Amino acid sequence: MQPVKCGACDTRVLVAKYSEIHTSVQWLSEAEETCPEFAAAAGEGRPSAFVPSCPRLRETIGAATRDGLIPESRFSEPAPLPAQ
C-alpha cells in the first residue's frame, strides 16, 4: 500500500489499486477526526461507516494514480489444491 495525503485536508491514508475500478483505502486515523467530509456527516448523526467516501480524497487518489505514484498492484489468488 502507498501512503497518500489528501490534497484538501492533509488526512493520511494508505492506498492500493488492484484494477482501474478497485481501490483499497486504509485510514491511518479516525476519519471523523481528520476529514471535514466525515466530520460533517458525524455532525449530522451519520456514522462514518455509512459515508461511502470523501470526494476530495478520491480526487487526490485519482491524481496520484494518473501521475504514477500509485501503481496498479497485480495479485493472484492461491492456486487450488489438486483433486485427491
Higher pLDDT, 15 or 29: 15
Model pTM?
Answer: 0.80
For residue 50, what is the DSSP state? G
Residue 44 CA neighbour count, 13 Å, CB half: 9
Residue type for 10, please?
D
pLDDT for the residue numbered 77: 56
pLDDT interval class at 21 (50, 70, 90): confident
pLDDT tens column, 61-81: 999 999 999 988 776 555 566
Give the rounded percent of residues in the chain with a pLDDT score beyond 70. Answer: 87
Contact assessment for residue 54 and residue 6, using Cβ atoms and an 8 Å cutoff: yes
Q: Which burial class, exposed, middle or buried, applies to 76 when counting CB atoms under 10 A from its CB (0-12, 13-18, 19+)?
A: exposed
Contact 29, 82 (CB under 8 A): no
